[in-house]
Amino acid sequence: MNEVILYSVLSLSVLGILAAIILYFVAQKFKVEEDPRIDLVEDILPAANCGGCGYAGCRNFAESITKADELTNFFCPPGGDETMNQVAKILGKETISKENKIAVLRCNGCYEHRKNTNTYTGINSCTFISLLYGGETDCHYGCLGLGECVEACHFDAMYMDKNTGLPIVIEDNCIGCKACVKVCPKNLLEMRKRGPKNRRIFVSCMNENKGALAKKSCRVACIGCMLCMKECPFDAITIDNFLAYIDDDKCRLCRKCVPVCPTNAIHELNFPVKKKIKTAIDAE
């Protein structure tokens, strides 16, 4: 009996040793050498793992950028140009400076401008509500106001304004990670250039209804009147589905479109207040 046990133990030990030897040689044969620069790149990344670069975490970004032939299509929003320049030095490649972008809300349908016409009492989720119906107002394109975008932001760059029912972007905290853009079921958040001195101009509306119907559902809706497009000297404004859009690559921030908008749907941020020109009537 003891001999049987002994032979069994010896047999299993020999088999284990043989298996270990085989696995060792197989591992050596198929071993993949990892580029040591991947660790160097990962170390200088901000470790935000926000997904703003388009990759699943900083490690995946480091692996992809190290294997790439050029850095043109790579950018780390939290790290910005400074981090990308360090990455370029490690990899011995050229980097292209990119302008940081910031999230803007393309909806101004606050309580004052867009009245509630029904009441919802279900699950507090923008995504869930958008699957059921258009929302508590007659504008089915506007913000649902439940703050799913705020919850998605990991940088404390957004909060819900209790007075308006709309999310507010904190400019100093926004790193352009696009997390809020991805979760909004109405596609109301857009990444736009910060602009010189943080000045930006955009149409704060996504209502594609025709003029009168859009105005009826929200007092500050874009009605597609084309006045802004005709006024723009840089061809930066287009009209599609009765909705104006300002291309921030073409826009020169001249502000000529702002005063001609009959519904105040065009927003200008961080500009100095224009001085009112005195007329003969004012003098009297």
Given a contact cutoff of 8 angstroms between Cβ atoms, the answer to whether 175 and 188 are in contact is: no
Residue 279 pLDDT class (50, 70, 90 cuts):
very low
Does residue 73 register a pLDDT over 90?
Answer: no
Average pLDDT estimate for 233-252: 96
Note the pLDDT of residue 280. Answer: 44
Q: Give burial (CB, 10 Å; 0-12/13-18/19+) of 277.
A: exposed
User: pLDDT (tens digit, 9 = 90+) per residue, 138-182?
Assistant: 999 999 999 999 999 989 999 999 999 999 999 999 989 899 999
Q: 118 or 7: whose pLDDT is higher?
A: 118
Domains of the chain by residue range? 37-91, 101-269
**What mean pLDDT do residues 92-106 have?**
87
The CATH class, in words, for 101-269 is alpha beta
Alpha carbons 165 and 149: distance in angstroms, whole number: 13
* pLDDT at residue 201, as a whole number: 97
Average pLDDT, the chain: 89
Residue 281 is predicted with a pLDDT of 40
- Looking at the predicted structure, is the pLDDT value of residue 3 above 80? no
Would you state the pLDDT for residue 34? 75
Burial of residue 164 (number of CB atoms within 10 Å: 0-12, 13-18, 19+): middle
Residue 1: its pLDDT value, please? Answer: 62
List pLDDT tens digits, range 13-44: 878 888 888 887 777 666 666 788 999 999 99
Q: 103 near 190, Cβ under 8 Å?
A: yes
pLDDT value, residue 13: 80
Is the pLDDT at 117 greater than 60? The verdict is yes
Q: In one letter, which amino acid is 180?
A: C
pLDDT at 161: 97
- Report which of residues 80 and 259 the model is more confident about: 259
pLDDT tens digits, residue range 199-240? 999 999 999 999 999 999 999 999 999 999 999 999 999 999
AA letter at 50: C
Q: Which of 125, 123, 111, 122 is nearest to 220 (CA)?
A: 111
pLDDT for position 54: 85
Indicate the CATH number for domain 37-91: 1.10.15
Quote the Cα angle for 83-85-88, to 5°: 115
